[in-house]
Amino acid sequence: MRTRLPGIALALLSLPVAANAAEVNVYSLRQPELVQPLFDAFTAETGIEVNVAFVEKGMVERLQSEGDRSPADLVLTVDIARLSQIVDAGVTQPVLSDVLTANIPAEFRDPANQWFGLTSRARIIYASRDRVEDGEVTTYEDLTNPKWQGRICTRPGTHDYNLGLMAAMIVHKGSAAAKEWATGLRSNLARKPEGNDRAQVKSIWAGECDISLGNTYYMGEMLADPEQTEWANAVRIIYPTFEGGGTHVNVSGMAMTKAAPNHDDALKLMEFLSSDAAQAIYAETNHEFPVKPGVARSALVASWGEFTPDNLNLMDVAAKRPEALKLMEEVNFDG
Give the C-alpha separation, 52 to 7, whole Å. Answer: 10
CATH number for 121-248+305-330: choose from 3.40.190.10, 1.10.3720.10, 3.40.120.10, 3.30.379.10.
3.40.190.10
The CATH number, out of the four listed (3.40.190.10, 3.40.50.720, 3.30.365.10, 3.40.50.2300), of the domain defined by the range 4-120+250-296: 3.40.190.10
The letter for the amino acid at 269 is: L
The sign of the torsion formed by the CA atoms of 302, 304, 308, 312 equals negative
Say if residues 325 and 333 touch (Cβ distance below 8 Å).
no
Same fold, 4-120+250-296 and 121-248+305-330: yes
Output the pLDDT for position 56: 85
Reduced to 3 states, what is the DSSP secondary structure of residue 210?
coil
DSSP state letter for 139: B
Residue 34 to residue 329: CA distance in whole angstroms: 32
- What angle do helix axes 263-273 and 32-46 make, rounded to 10 degrees? 110
Q: Which amino acid is at 246?
A: G
How confident is the model at residue 21, as a pLDDT? 56
Strand partners, 153: 212
pLDDT tens digit sequence for 199-220 = 999 999 999 999 999 999 999 9
- Residue 281's alpha-carbon distances to 40, 169, 220, 288, in angstroms, are 11, 32, 14, 10
User: Who's near 103: CB < 8 A, 6+ residues apart?
Assistant: 271, 274, 275, 292
How far is 289 from 244, CA to CA, in rounded Å? 23
* Mean pLDDT for back-to-back runs of 10 residues, the chain (335 residues): 37 42 90 88 97 92 96 95 94 98 96 96 98 97 98 97 97 98 98 97 98 97 97 98 97 97 98 97 94 97 96 94 98 97
Dmax (CA) of the chain: 63
Q: At what angle do helices 59-66 and 80-88 cross, to 10 degrees?
A: 20
What pLDDT does 33 receive? 79
The CA distance from 193 to 144, in Å, is 16
What ranges do the domains of the chain cover? Answer: 4-120+250-296, 121-248+305-330
Residues found in the chain:
335
Give pLDDT, residue 267: 98
